[in-house]
Amino acid sequence: MTSSPQDPAASGQTPDRYVVIGNPVAHSRSPAIHAAFARQTGEAIAYDRLEAPLDGFAATVRDFLAQGGHGFNVTVPFKLEAYDLADRLTERAEAAGAVNTMWQEDGLLHGDNTDGVGLVRDIQDNLDVLLEGRRVLLLGAGGAAMGAMLPLIECRPSRIVVANRTAARASDMLEEFVEAADQYGVELWGGGLDALEALAEDEGCEIVINASSSSLHGEVPPVPEWMLGEGVLAYDMMYGAEPTVFLRFAERCGARVSDGLGMLVEQAAEAFYNWRGVRPRTAPVLAELRAALRAEAGR
């Protein structure tokens, strides 16, 4: 059997080991995504799931690295602990206050947050919706929203409105990004969900991103129907075999809709690039995952 770029195992190389660390972690699709990236690029890696005890994240990381691990992704509930554990942070990890990608280099543990760049690449590259000059409504002010803010700002939308259940939390979050917004010429607004109409004024927003936990609870954020009409992209960071309640509501209002599956693939591609210095093609992997979701839903 001859080796090929699509078959790294055939070269006889011992694969470098990577994992996703979380609790729970059995549901993670990251192993399938990175296995597809490895086949595509010819990189010799092995990628698995690793569940850490809720009180044992740092010990799990130390043990994994001591056994020769090269890098890892971090999922709930350890992204804040990963931030504290890193010796060196990227600018976007510092801005997010959380880390989802780590690797060792020059004796230091590096931390990055690839969620936000995954979001903007999905919107701009996969959905072909440019963010520059657009008015963006971001629902939520938690970790997912924090991770999205700097990459969104760097795309130079005209305005980012952050609406959160607790208005003070939205205002506090925006304070962290005033300097970046000034640098890129982005107007920042923030407040409570009950003030959405006033925040967006009559002109509304062209891109509405749900970064809140509402979809996990089967709830629809209180977005006025007129704000989700024709020409608006309604994006939910959550994904599943069926559309979220927010996306079903937005579609009934006339908006174009998308879940966060592409964001998942794009953030993984950025992590892969951090580790290997190779940028995989995401379109075929996204299509493969989408087909798997449809099969799970019996469609």
> What residues does each domain of the chain span?
8-113+263-296, 116-259
Positions at the binding site for NADP(+): 91, 140-144, 164-169, 237, 260
> Is 79 an active-site residue?
yes
Dihedral angle sign, alpha carbons of residues 148, 75, 112, 57:
positive
Is 134 a residue whose pLDDT tops 80? yes
Do 8-113+263-296 and 116-259 come out as alike in CATH topology? yes
Do the Cβ atoms of 265 and 283 come closer than 8 Å? no
Does residue 232 surpass a pLDDT of 70? Answer: yes
Give me the catalytic one of 79, 121, 135, 276.
Answer: 79
The H-or-E segment that residue 136 falls in is: strand 135-139
Q: Report which DSSP code applies to 134.
A: -
Q: Please state the rounded mean pLDDT for residues 83-111.
A: 97
Mean pLDDT, residues 52-66: 98
User: Any idea what the Cα angle at residue 38 is, between residues 117 and 24, rounded to 5°?
Assistant: 65
* CATH no. of 116-259: 3.40.50.720
For 8-113+263-296, CATH number? 3.40.50.10860
Entry pTM: 0.93
Residues annotated in a binding site: 28-30, 75, 91, 100, 115, 140-144, 164-169, 237, 239, 260, 267
HEC string of 146-199? Answer: HHHHHHHHHCCCCEEEEEECCHHHHHHHHHCCHHHHHHHCCEEEEEEHHHHHHH
User: What pLDDT sits at residue 256?
Assistant: 98
Cα 20 from Cα 14, distance rounded (Å): 19
3-state secondary structure at position 73 = strand
- pLDDT of residue 89 exceeding 70: yes
Provide the pLDDT for residue 8.
52
159-164/233-236 β-pairing: unpaired
Annotated binding residues for shikimate, written as ranges, equal 28-30, 75, 100, 115, 239, 267
The pLDDT tens digits of the residues spanning 183-219 come to 999 999 988 887 676 655 557 899 999 999 888 788 8
Q: What is the pLDDT of residues 63-80, one digit of tens each?
A: 999 999 999 999 999 999
Q: Alpha helices of 185-299 — where are they, by DSSP H?
A: 196-200, 245-252, 261-276, 283-296
